Structure 1
Amino acid sequence: MEKKITATPRGCDSARIEQVIVTRALKGAGTENDPCREVIQYWTLDGKLLCEKD
């Protein structure tokens, strides 16, 4: 008999709201290899880069 393995999604274990600085800037030279695009960066209030969405 074949045993079925199933997983049940648990959802979110925790969530909270944090203050961050969000910057938006254009990036790229506008060429095929380096297209012009908007980059969004998330920073802590003391200036540490958390992540960049490019």
Structure 2
Amino acid sequence: MEQKITAIPRGCDSARVEQVIVTRALKGAGTENDPCREVIQYWTLDGELIVTRSQYEEGKR
């Protein structure tokens, strides 16, 4: 007898709305030592930098 396996979606475990300022800018000179990349930064509404994300800089404060 063939047993059919059915996945049951769990839905969402949590959700929340958070207000932050998100900036995007190009950075770098386009050289091998300083490649050009998009940098995304997340800031509090009071202007405090939370995190910087880019292809080369993950998680720097």
Cα distance in 2 for residues equivalent to 1:20 and 1:34: 28
Cα distance in 1 for residues equivalent to 2:26 and 2:38: 4
- Give 4+ residue runs of structure 1 displaced > 2 Å after superposition: 13-16
Shift of 1:16: 2.5
Structure-2 residue corresponding to 1:30: 30
Q: Aligned residue pairs: how many? A: 43
Shift of 1:17: 1.6
* Structure 2: segments with no counterpart, 5+ residues: 1-12, 55-61
Structure-2 residue corresponding to 1:19: 19
Structure-2 residue corresponding to 1:46: 46
Cα distance in 2 for residues equivalent to 1:17 and 1:31: 39
* More RCO (CA 8 Å, sep 6+): 1
The TM-score normalised by the length of structure 1 is 0.69
Work out the percentage of aligned pairs sharing the same amino acid.
Answer: 83
Q: Over the residues paired in the alignment, what is the CA RMSD in angstroms?
A: 1.4
The TM-score normalised by the length of structure 2 is 0.62
Cα distance in 2 for residues equivalent to 1:15 and 1:39: 26
